[in-house]
Structure 1
């Protein structure tokens, strides 16, 4: 599972938008959002770079958690 910090993710609508962005890259991706920590976990076969780019294209700056 790859983790992303997304500071601007503050509500359910944000989660839905980010999930749709991730699944536009990999329809089978599983996304686990944690609003309290403004982060998501993604299980996907897609590259981290492509997932990050999709999240950014949806309007959400993000950083990959090590």
Structure 2
């Protein structure tokens, strides 16, 4: 499970864009978005944490990887 701080994410449309970006590279991942905390949690992802962050960044939302959750 990976967590990302995504400060520019502020609405439902932003959350959908971030989710689409992640699912575009990790179709089987489960994505949870907490808009209030500006956090994205990704589980079931096989790729490296940087690859997911790069996909979020490419969608226009700078993402800061946080420590992997247990």
Q: Which bin holds the TM-score, normalised by the shorter protein? A: over 0.9
Aligned to 1:46: 47
After superposing on structure 2, the runs of 4+ consecutive aligned residues of structure 1 that deviate more than 4 Å are none
Q: What per-residue deviation string (whole Å, max 9, x for no partner) do you get for residues 3-62 of structure 1?
A: 000001101000100000001111111100000100110011121111000000000001
The question of 1:5 aligning with 2:5 is answered yes
* SS of equivalent residue, structure 1 residue 45: coil
> As a proportion of its length, which structure holds more helix?
1
- Superposed CA RMSD in Å reads 0.6
Gaps of 5+ in 2: none
Gaps of 5+ in 1: none
TM-score by length of 1: 0.95
